[in-house]
Structure 1
Amino acid sequence: MIRSLRVRLMLAAAVLALLFMLALLPALQKAFSLALQESIEQRLASDITTLISAARVEHGHLQMPDLLPDERYNLPSVGLLGYIFDREGRLVWRSRATTDRHINYQPRYDGHGNEFARIRQDNGDEFFVYDVEVKLLGGRSAAFSIVALQPVREYQHTLDGLREKLYLGFGAALLALMVLLWAGLTWGLRSLRRLSHELDEVESGAREGLSREHPRELLRLTGSLNRLLHSEREQRQRYRDSLDDLAHSLKTPLAVLQGMGESMGRGGGEREQARVLQSQIERMSQQIDYQLQRASLRKSGLVRHQVRLAPVLDSLCSTLDKVYRDKRVAVTLNVAPQARVPIEEGALLELLGNLLENAYRLCLEQVRVSFETLPGQQVLCIEDDGPGVPADQRERILQRGERLDRQHPGQGIGLAVVKDIIDSFDGRLTLEDSPLGGAAFRITFNQE
């Protein structure tokens, strides 16, 4: 399927132009043929006028001079074919050009004056014939048919040459028309390219909306897109504000309940109830943080992000090196300085923060981060030399809603957020064994 609008328009215009020319070509050929036949008829009529002016009737017999004023009648090789028949159809005179020719033609004297026709001989030769009936010649009453002929091959040769020139001319005209159409479509679709460029800038975050410097036919589209962008931003902001308000309104009562639980625990008699209460309060607090992170890190529907990976990794590793300074983790970063990933910066910080924090905490002494670009894909891999994840647990912990905090406290919420972030940006997360000996979290993004 052809996806280019300009190519589609060019093909449609080319087909229409070709059909128009194919329909016009026979009409032009017919017009030229009729014009050429009319020219031949007029020329033969002029040739007959020469014969009529030279003819004389003496004693009832036709007299023609040995040499006619038109030299073509006198030269056999050049030859104008001229005949004169009497009223009974007997041949009474012929031009020198007809000496070696036998043409089967019988005039039809019917009083209609003259006739222009096309005849065909038994050997396949064709001739144009102009036959003039003359009733008064040389001042005396006499009736003759004066006939001039011209071979059709000359007409056909001229017509073939004209047809060839028409084909060449139409081909050149079609080529020139295609060039002009391509230039016109390029100029006409320039506004669409400008709109596409502005959309790319909106997707990359370089501009807030589309300009109004577009043709009138596109203003409704650009206005609708701008309203959609504005509505999306407002909706996202209202969503975040509402969640923030909800979180703040819940955290204060939770803090009070947590304080009461601690007081109950110090009382001695209700330590078990206090422990259960504090556990539920902590679980509620974690769920609030988790849902806030999910809501705030969801990508926009129209904006396509591109964030440099190396600075984010450097910042996070620097922070984690300070947190785990006693562990002396050796970090290897195999990431090109200009490498970019299609994800929002805040989401990337949350994603890498959770995975790197897990790697630092669970590794023995090595963590490795690598990034490579494959055909149609970008792959980010975070590995460690820790205990890894059992093979029978990998599918479960990567499913939405499954958490490892029941067996390994502190990992459940982080992995759930990581999975949500990757899903929201159309990525894929897989868990494998690392050559270092621990776990390898492999994140794959599709390139557009």
Structure 2
Amino acid sequence: MRSLSGRLRIAASVVLVAFLGLTGLSLDRAFRDSALAAVQDRLQAQLYLLLGAANLDAFNRLTLPQALPEARFSTPDSGLYADVMDSPGNLVWYSPSLLGRALPFFPAVRSPGDTQFAPLESSDGTPLLVLAFTVSWEIDRSHYQIYTFRVAENRQNFDDQVWSFRRGLWGWLLASTAVLLAAQGLILRWSLKPLRRVAAEIKAIETGQRSTLSSGYPAELQPLTMNLNALLGQSHAHLERYRNALGDLAHSLKTPLAVLRGTLETGAEPAELRQTLAEQVERMNRTVDYQLQRAAASGRIALSAPLPVAPVARKILDSLAKVYAERALQFNSEIAAATVFYGDEGDLLEILGNLADNACKWCQRQIVVRAYPADHGGRMELVVEVEDDGPGIAPEQAPLLLNRGQRADPSVAGHGIGLAVVRDLVEEVYYGRLEIGHGTLGGARVRAQLRFQANGG
């Protein structure tokens, strides 16, 4: 059974039918016991009437009057019967209604006050409900006689009453089951409507009729739909980034290629040709590096686990300590263990690595890396700060350094694309901000604010 709706309908139907079935059996058993107790109470009342009417004759024999309080005892085959037996089991008296039949054998009740109630059959096979009661009758002050009074009622009335109740009970229960199953089906259909809507919208996305899932889903489905939209958005962003990177790369390579072609066509001197070739190859190399790093950015990852920032920063600083070992730089990491990043580890390495490497090139001796969460208008951000104790960056020069190929000092090694790559990652991929300012150590402080929300929201 692959249908969720089918599973729910079958499970709910089985539970409903089982519940109503057990309810019906319980009610049937309760009514039967109640009706049986009512019969026993009626027979008990009739038995007390017989005890009240019984008396001893002149020979100390138990007798009952011909006209009994209950007229059915005097009517043959009336459905109500009675007799009296002595302790040896001899029949002392029987009601006229027993004409032509006899009550079935009943185990003798020997102790006065004992009562027995049981379903039995008369001598002609008529089903009966029989109540027997034993009394000790005083003959004189020193003599007592044991008598057993038996009263019976035709069981047909009891069976008819139980059958009538069962017919009404199970009829209503079946009708209730049909109504409840129909209502249950409507409720399930209404409850599962959002799932059918998700399936229909996903199919529309597959056919290209829509690009994202709509909003307004129940709270239980919102994490699913939000993460699916995040995955779709991430996929579209990656594809768009690749397309833009290829277009930009092709456009950027046109100029150096045109320069090389023009130099070759003009028949320049070998020295001039080598210089032009070296310049344009370096230019193309920077362009390719920049576009490849830009296209490789993964961005926020939907359904991603939080990535601890401190271990990533420590890995970068340890690597830089080895690269710049001859300068004996001091690296300080001020990142709490609970600080996390929702995104690709490669992007975080690219941002921290470029900022820290840039600080190593300009610092005197000390570099500080910080990372902490911040709330920006109800949306969580990760703030990354890297500062050094170098000469710093003038405010008017800061915007220029964020452009590809720009360097504050040409004598310092590098391609001039590090801050540009970081800027693209921060602003285009994580929709944040990159700022260059003055730090507490006296040098430059570069601050990257990366916007994110847990689980790709």
1:351 alignment counterpart: none
- Cα deviation, 1:309-363, whole Å, max 9, x if unaligned, reads xxxxxxxxxxxxxxxxxxxxxxxxxxxxxxxxxxxxxxxxxxxxxxxxxxxxxxx
Letter in 2 for 1:165: G
Q: Do the aligned partners of residues 112 and 144 (structure 1) sit closer, same or farther apart at CA in structure 2, a change above 3 Å counting?
A: closer
Q: Do the aligned partners of residues 228 and 109 (structure 1) sit closer, same or farther apart at CA in structure 2, a change above 3 Å counting?
A: closer
Q: TM-score, normalised by structure 1?
A: 0.52
Give yes or no for the alignment of 1:182 onto 2:185.
yes
Distance 1:247 1:53 in 2: 120
Q: Do the aligned partners of residues 109 and 192 (structure 1) sit closer, same or farther apart at CA in structure 2, a change above 3 Å counting?
A: closer
Gaps of 5+ in 2: 268-457
1:229 alignment counterpart: 232
What are the equivalent positions in structure 2 for 1:78-227 lying under 5 Å apart? 78-106=78-106, 108-113=108-113, 114-120=115-121, 124-136=125-137, 142-196=145-199, 198-199=201-202, 202=205, 209-227=212-230
Q: Do the aligned partners of 1:83 and 1:148 also contact (CA within 8 Å) in 2?
A: yes
What are the equivalent positions in structure 2 for 1:246-265 lying under 5 Å apart? 246-252=249-255
Distance 1:20 1:107 in 2: 41
Q: Do the aligned partners of 1:57 and 1:137 also contact (CA within 8 Å) in 2?
A: no
Moved more, 197-206 or 215-224: 197-206
CA offset at residue 246 of structure 1? 2.2
1:309 alignment counterpart: none
Q: Do the aligned partners of residues 107 and 144 (structure 1) sit closer, same or farther apart at CA in structure 2, a change above 3 Å counting?
A: farther
CA offset at residue 45 of structure 1? 0.5
CA offset at residue 107 of structure 1? 5.6
Q: Do the aligned partners of 1:86 and 1:144 also contact (CA within 8 Å) in 2?
A: yes
1:46 alignment counterpart: 45
Root-mean-square deviation (CA, aligned residues, Å) is 3.3
SS in structure 2 at match of 1:101: coil
Distance 1:25 1:103 in 2: 35
Q: Do the aligned partners of 2:109 and 2:133 also contact (CA within 8 Å) in 1?
A: no
Gaps of 5+ in 1: 265-448
Give yes or no for the alignment of 1:70 onto 2:70.
yes
Distance 1:176 1:261 in 2: 90
Q: TM-score, normalised by structure 2?
A: 0.51
- Cα deviation, 1:90-139, whole Å, max 9, x if unaligned, reads 21211111002133325614114122123345765432211112224799
Moved more, 97-106 or 151-160: 151-160
Q: Do the aligned partners of 2:87 and 2:110 also contact (CA within 8 Å) in 1?
A: no
- Cα deviation, 1:190-213, whole Å, max 9, x if unaligned, reads 333444455466556666533442
Letter in 2 for 1:70: E
Letter in 2 for 1:104: P
Distance 1:163 1:12 in 2: 27
- Cα deviation, 1:377-419, whole Å, max 9, x if unaligned, reads xxxxxxxxxxxxxxxxxxxxxxxxxxxxxxxxxxxxxxxxxxx
CA offset at residue 187 of structure 1? 2.6
Number of residue equivalences: 264
SS in structure 2 at match of 1:133: strand
CA offset at residue 227 of structure 1? 1.1
Q: Do the aligned partners of 1:85 and 1:93 also contact (CA within 8 Å) in 2?
A: yes
Letter in 2 for 1:152: R
CA offset at residue 189 of structure 1? 2.0
Q: Do the aligned partners of 1:55 and 1:137 also contact (CA within 8 Å) in 2?
A: no
Give yes or no for the alignment of 1:238 onto 2:241.
yes
Q: Do the aligned partners of 1:48 and 1:148 also contact (CA within 8 Å) in 2?
A: yes
Moved more, 201-210 or 84-93: 201-210
Letter in 1 for 2:45: S
1:380 alignment counterpart: none
Distance 1:37 1:106 in 2: 19
Q: Do the aligned partners of 2:83 and 2:95 also contact (CA within 8 Å) in 1?
A: yes
- Cα deviation, 1:217-274, whole Å, max 9, x if unaligned, reads 112111211211221121111100111022223444555677789899xxxxxxxxxx
CA offset at residue 171 of structure 1? 1.6
SS in structure 2 at match of 1:162: helix
Q: Do the aligned partners of 2:81 and 2:151 also contact (CA within 8 Å) in 1?
A: yes
Q: Do the aligned partners of residues 139 and 228 (structure 1) sit closer, same or farther apart at CA in structure 2, a change above 3 Å counting?
A: farther
